[in-house]
Structure 1
Amino acid sequence: MVLIQTPSFISTSAIINELCMEFRNISYIAPIILDSTKTNESQQLVHLAREKRLLFGDSNKEIEKWNGVKDFCQALDNIVEIQKETTLFKGKKVLEIGFATGLPSIYALEHGAKDATIVYSSEEAFKTYIEPTMSQNNANERVTYIFGDFENILTKMQNQKFDVIFAPEIVYTKQKNFEKIHEILKSLLAFNGLILISGRTHYHNCDGNLSSMIDMVKRKNQFDSIDRTPGSLYKYETAPRKIVQIMHK
């Protein structure tokens, strides 16, 4: 069951670029450009087609997940800079899981996180995107990389607990996987920790979505949840992307 969605690998050279936020820019290595002022979705599709296609999934889905990471980082920046939660990551152990790119972990490390663990499921993506992105930001010394999936992740974690868990686009999967996602996140989260999870309220090509995940969280009644979506993400869309904070009750 592949629930940890590492970026897909493209056989040709990746793009070096910057993720531009209101208060911070992060250099990253990726198959696409996240700055929408430089390119649009049609241009992204042309670029990906020119690179022969991704090995896994379709181009539209890959763009959707990368743009989800962009929105996720914008939300982090909003929480720290606009809402003034400047010590949110200070001294914290961070886990990045789901669609792992390293970008949220870099943001946390630059805002005081003690260390970060990134879980990935593709060696090619790790070598092509994740590790080079961390090197580009001089972050490798404080990062642990774990190759795995939700089938074996608890064993590999060896009872570790994390103060902050980033789970971008983790709901972009089948709803039948949500029980396992809930179980794993509950096991990995420290008592006073928090999870930041993102996703759209609906996906046209997948029955999983953030609304369904939050409904399940409420039914199980083991977590509290808070909407942390910044105002800049409230666009005129039928299925907007949201960022939600989840904590133990």
Structure 2
Amino acid sequence: PPSPIPPPRPSRRREAYLSATYAELPHAMEKTEAKKPTPASPLFSFSNPSASFGFGFGAAPGPPPPPLPPAVEVLLSEESPVAAGNLEPVVVDDSLSIYKGRVNTSDVFGVKNSDLVPGKYEGGLKLWEGSLDLVKTLNSDIKDDRLLMEGKHVLELGCGHGLPGIYAGLKGAGLVHFQDFNAEVLRCLTIPNVKANLLKKSSQGTSTSRSIGFYAGDWSEIDKLLLCGDAVQDKITNLRTENEGYRGYDIILMAETVYALDSLPSLYRLVKKCLHYPSGVVYMAGKKHYFGVGGGTRQFLRLVREDGAMQSDLLAEVTDGSSNVREVWKFSFK
């Protein structure tokens, strides 16, 4: 009789998926054992759980992702009144608090109980822990004379509430640009927060940013609207710019932007394209691992080290038990 047909070998994609899944199990078990018996809420919630992974094993292929929104500048005058009257303070230290609004996801996007809707909403209405970690790290570095903010050009990527960028403005940055995937987040949350902090301080005669801008769009396209680096940096990134007067940003801030594995290359390319060479610095805050979505600070760190153009320094590690281990990193050109 003919020999039995051997079972089909799993595809490389499935093998990679299974390998990544099993690799995360020890971390997940450690995290579970360290917790109290009370079950913790998931790090991310999706409006369509089946769409969060997109592997589609044993299921019909889903609809294609929606097209990326166009990269646009959002004007200060385009503020939405959704967050009006909902301000609450966030304490940085004994002498400084930053005020932020509170906006319901369903009021803006028509989505309930969701942190992410792939291609539509990227979590900008929620205040993530990394944003506060980043502000506190900046505050510590300024107090210890490790960072000078006065007069600097600052960009906050994936800003959401915009607290790190607002903090930079309060500390005298000469220019602050805020970027988020969603224009709605900028209109409903970022701009009201900026007005409540920076513009209020300016009207009272306190020194604040001379220039503020808001930009919405995907990291793969938003560079068209942002400041690009100078000619020396372009040699490193194999890019050319026609306007050598654009020196790029002295400081790039980003909190909780490294959660999605597939977006890390475009994020890193954008950082290198917009950061001033050779003295620009990047402050990045985020979780060590984002279970369920594949990204994390260590995944981004691997990308940086493989590229070899920048050096990295761990500034802070937070293990307060409220979430997965969080980190703050600093990157600069070698």
TM-score normalized with structure 1 length: 0.77
The answer as to 2:262 corresponding to 1:176 is yes
Q: Tell me what 1:225 maps to.
A: 312
Which structure has more relative contact order (CA 8 Å, sep 6+)? It is 1
Q: Tell me what 2:287 maps to.
A: 200
CA distance in 2, matches of 1:53, 1:95: 25
Q: Tell me what 2:134 maps to.
A: 72
Task: List runs of 5+ in structure 1 lacking aligned partners.
Answer: 32-47
8 Å Cα contact 2:158/2:181 also seen in 1: no
Structure 2 residue matching 1:228: 3-state secondary structure: strand
- Aligned CA distance change for structure 1 residues 109 and 188 (closer, same or farther; 3 Å): same
For residues 138-194 of structure 1, the C-alpha deviation after alignment (integer angstroms, 9 at most, x for no partner) is: 348631112222232122225340000011111011x12222111110010001010
Q: Which structure carries more strand by proportion?
A: 1
CA distance in 2, matches of 1:200, 1:162: 25
Q: How does 1:76-155 map to 2 (within 5 A)?
A: 76-81=138-143, 83-85=144-146, 87-139=147-199, 142-155=211-224
CA distance in 2, matches of 1:64, 1:131: 15
CA distance in 2, matches of 1:107, 1:118: 12
8 Å Cα contact 1:199/1:241 also seen in 2: yes
Letter in 1 for 2:101: I
TM-score normalized with structure 2 length: 0.59
Q: Tell me what 1:38 maps to.
A: none
The answer as to 2:281 corresponding to 1:209 is no
8 Å Cα contact 2:82/2:188 also seen in 1: no
Q: Which of the pair has more CA radius of gyration? A: 2
Letter in 1 for 2:88: N
The answer as to 2:331 corresponding to 1:246 is yes
Cα offset for 1:201?
Answer: 0.8
For residues 68-119 of structure 1, the C-alpha deviation after alignment (integer angstroms, 9 at most, x for no partner) is: 21222122222223x343x521211000112432211111111121110111
Task: List runs of 5+ in structure 2 lacking aligned partners.
Answer: 1-67, 72-79, 117-122, 200-208, 229-245
8 Å Cα contact 1:14/1:30 also seen in 2: no
- Aligned CA distance change for structure 1 residues 196 and 19 (closer, same or farther; 3 Å): same
Letter in 2 for 1:225: S
Backbone CA RMSD of aligned residues: 3.0
Q: Tell me what 2:225 maps to.
A: 156
